[in-house]
């Protein structure tokens, strides 16, 4: 039968309703379906991905019988395309996941395929009330779709690194020290004594991140977890005016900073775990999350887990909390900026006895570590202590009413 003689209803599995949807979407012939991609077809015609792939394969074989043997090659190529566009997949597309399980997953904070792909089977099984074997199958499927968990060449990693953005402090000395500014897909930990400038920097970055890229920002929103009641909207207003940008309205900047006051360490962890829902809403609104702040990271943990007897539990929770922050930043190409308290080591007689709270757990998980301290004349010293690709060094800056400034 010539392809002209085929109607859409002749395609296996296509009834009158599906055929009508296809025609409304512009697929009026077998040839047009054969030339489409799986993603285009299931998006526009509202059909399942597997069904769309079978339809394309059948139509391709009818348009060109010789193409039937090569359809597998096209399918393989299409798989790569689907991997690139996997964000369009919903949780309901996972085999065996219906509306009820999908709702449980969303309530537990699993809003995307990536969040499931990077979760633990035990965590997923508990959240969705599933067997661990079923959870493992779901995670494997999500990893296959999102291309997570496999080996990549150095060239692939280099191309991924090209997506990394830099958020400038607008203090040239500090930006040069940080290789251009604070980096996305990474956690930067800033520790220092009270009054060293930690909260001042996170306030400044909450303003700067909303600027367009040509002005040193990322054009994004902020998720701000406040554990010490240090967030001050008045300070944001002062810093916006300090930018001296014509037409800049402080209220517009405040609208894009989403603040949550954590009351306990468990509440603090929950805020990060459930922030994906807010991140998805902001992304859909055209103002994606580009900065995740926790000020401070260890304050509540330090007060609730006192003594050596509770040290192991505290460190385990801190480890999980920091990895949740990192996954959030990695998924949305955002910056993780956390502040940390310090303690003095009485055994140190020479040199600086100050060291950050959290021990090796925080030190290993943070990508960049910055030590802030006060100096003479109101100056602050910004010292890069640890980085995977930048040398150690120091820079100085001032904190004025209008924000951070060069000395």
Q: Binding site annotation covers 199?
A: yes
Take residue 320 and report the two structure tokens written for it.
């999980």
Q: What is the mean pLDDT of residues 12-41?
A: 80
Give the model confidence (pLDDT) of 279-301 as tens digits.
Answer: 999 999 999 999 999 999 999 99
Answer whether residue 79 shows pLDDT above 60: no
- 190: helix, coil or strand? strand
Task: Calculate what percentage of the chain has a pLDDT beyond 70.
Answer: 87
Q: Binding site annotation covers 166?
A: no
Answer whether residue 78 shows pLDDT above 50: no
Q: What is the pLDDT of residue 203?
A: 97
Q: What is the pLDDT of residue 127?
A: 81
Burial of 297 (0-12, 13-18, 19+ CB in 10 A): buried
CATH architecture of the domain with range 91-146 = Orthogonal Bundle (1.10)
Q: What is the pLDDT of residue 21?
A: 82
Q: What is the pLDDT of residue 348?
A: 65
**More confident of the two residues 350 and 226:** 226
Give the model confidence (pLDDT) of 365-375 as tens digits.
Answer: 899 999 999 99
Listed in order, the ranges of the chain carrying CATH 1.10.150.20 are 3-84, 91-146
Q: Binding site annotation covers 196?
A: yes
Give the model confidence (pLDDT) of 188-231 as tens digits.
Answer: 999 999 889 999 999 999 999 999 999 999 999 999 999 999 99
Give the model confidence (pLDDT) of 153-183 as tens digits.
Answer: 899 888 888 899 999 999 999 999 999 999 9
Output the CA–CA distances (angstroms, integers) from residue 249 to 234, 239, 365, 403, in the order listed.
13, 11, 37, 16
Distance, in Å, from the CA atom of 157 to the CA atom of 151, rounded to the nearest integer, reads: 10
With beta carbons less than 8 A apart as the criterion, state whether 335 and 291 touch: yes
Q: What is the mean pLDDT of residues 139-163?
A: 82
With beta carbons less than 8 A apart as the criterion, state whether 318 and 361 touch: yes
* Percent composition of the chain: helix, strand, coil (DSSP 3-state, to 5): 50, 15, 35
Distance, in Å, from the CA atom of 250 to the CA atom of 240, rounded to the nearest integer, reads: 6
User: Quick one: fold of 160-405?
Assistant: Rossmann fold (3.40.50)
Point out which residues pair with 257 in neighbouring strands: 222
Report DSSP letters for 13-68, one per residue. T--HHHHHHHHHTT--SHHHHHTS-HHHHHHHTT--HHHHHHHHHHHHHHH-TTHH
Distance, in Å, from the CA atom of 176 to the CA atom of 165, rounded to the nearest integer, reads: 15
**More confident of the two residues 95 and 3:** 95
User: Quick one: fold of 3-84?
Assistant: DNA polymerase; domain 1 (1.10.150)
| Confidence band, pLDDT 50/70/90 cuts, at residue 68 | very low
- 337: helix, coil or strand? strand
Distance, in Å, from the CA atom of 26 to the CA atom of 230, rounded to the nearest integer, reads: 55
Q: Binding site annotation covers 198?
A: yes
Point out which residues pair with 338 in neighbouring strands: 189, 294
Q: What is the pLDDT of residue 88?
A: 55
Answer whether residue 71 shows pLDDT above 60: no
| Confidence band, pLDDT 50/70/90 cuts, at residue 244 | very high
Q: What is the pLDDT of residue 9?
A: 84
Listed in order, the ranges of the chain carrying CATH 3.40.50.300 are 160-405
Q: Is the sign of the CA dihedral 400, 403, 404, 407 positive or negative?
A: negative
Q: Binding site annotation covers 193?
A: yes
Q: What is the mean pLDDT of residues 401-406?
A: 95
Q: What is the pLDDT of residue 343?
A: 85
Torsion of the alpha carbons at 192, 197, 199 and 205, rounded to the nearest 10: -120
Give the model confidence (pLDDT) of 30-44 as tens digits.
Answer: 888 887 776 677 766
**More confident of the two residues 45 and 161:** 161
Residues 6 or more apart in contact with residue 47 via CB below 8 angstroms:
18, 21, 41, 55
Residue 343 DSSP class: E
Q: What is the pLDDT of residue 355?
A: 84
Distance, in Å, from the CA atom of 108 to the CA atom of 64, rounded to the nearest integer, reads: 48
Of the listed ranges 52-56, 336-340, 360-364, the least confidently predicted one is 52-56
Take residue 135 and report the two structure tokens written for it.
């959870």
With beta carbons less than 8 A apart as the criterion, state whether 91 and 105 touch: yes
- 154: helix, coil or strand? helix
Q: What is the pLDDT of residue 69?
A: 42
Q: What is the pLDDT of residue 212?
A: 95
Residues 6 or more apart in contact with residue 186 via CB below 8 angstroms:
164, 329, 335, 336, 367, 368
Answer whether residue 148 shows pLDDT above 70: no
Answer whether residue 13 shows pLDDT above 80: no
Q: What is the pLDDT of residue 67?
A: 42
Q: What is the pLDDT of residue 328?
A: 93
**More confident of the two residues 19 and 170:** 170
Q: Binding site annotation covers 307?
A: no
Take residue 55 and report the two structure tokens written for it.
């339809």
- 91: helix, coil or strand? helix
């Amino acid at each position: 039968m010539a392809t002209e003689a085929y109607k859409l209803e002749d395609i296996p599995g296509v009834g009158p309703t599906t055929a009508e949807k296809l025609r409304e979407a512009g697929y009026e012939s077998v040839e047009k379906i054969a030339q489409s991609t799986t993603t285009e077809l299931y998006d526009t015609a509202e059909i399942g991905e597997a069904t769309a792939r079978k339809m394309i394969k059948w139509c391709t074989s009818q348009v060109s019988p010789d193409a039937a043997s090569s359809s597998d090659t096209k399918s393989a190529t299409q798989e790569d395309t689907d991997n690139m566009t996997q964000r369009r997949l919903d949780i309901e597309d996972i085999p065996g996941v219906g509306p009820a399980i999908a709702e449980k997953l969303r309530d537990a904070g699993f809003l995307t395929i990536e969040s499931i792909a990077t979760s633990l089977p035990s965590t997923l099984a508990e959240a969705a009330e599933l067997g661990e074997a079923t959870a493992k199958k779901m995670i494997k499927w999500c990893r296959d779709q999102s291309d997570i968990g496999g080996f990549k060449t150095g060239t692939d990693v280099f191309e991924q690194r090209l997506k990394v953005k830099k958020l400038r402090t607008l203090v040239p000395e500090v930006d040069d020290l940080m290789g251009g500014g604070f980096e996305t897909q990474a956690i930067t930990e800033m520790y220092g004594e009270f009054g060293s400038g930690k909260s001042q920097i996170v306030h400044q970055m909450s303003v700067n991140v909303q600027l367009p890229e040509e002005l040193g920002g990322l054009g994004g929103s902020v998720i701000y977890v406040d554990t010490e009641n240090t967030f001050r909207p008045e300070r944001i207003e002062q810093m916006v005016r300090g930018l001296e940008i014509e037409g800049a309205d402080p209220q517009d900047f405040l609208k894009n900073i989403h603040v949550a006051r954590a009351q306990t360490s468990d509440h603090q962890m929950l805020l990060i775990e459930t922030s994906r829902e807010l991140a998805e809403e902001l992304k859909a609104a055209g103002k994606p999350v580009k900065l995740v702040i926790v000020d401070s990271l260890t304050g509540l943990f330090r007060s609730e887990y006192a003594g050596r007897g509770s040290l192991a539990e505290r460190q385990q929770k801190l480890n999980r909390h920091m990895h949740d922050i990192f996954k959030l930043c990695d998924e949305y190409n955002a910056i993780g900026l956390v502040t940390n308290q310090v303690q003095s080591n009485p055994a140190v007689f020479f040199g600086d006895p100050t060291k950050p709270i959290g021990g090796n757990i925080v030190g290993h998980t943070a990508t960049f570590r910055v030590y802030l301290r006060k100096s003479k004349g109101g100056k602050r010293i910004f010292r890069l202590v640890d980085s995977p690709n930048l040398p150690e060094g120091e820079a100085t800056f001032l904190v004025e009413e209008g924000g951070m400034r060069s000395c």
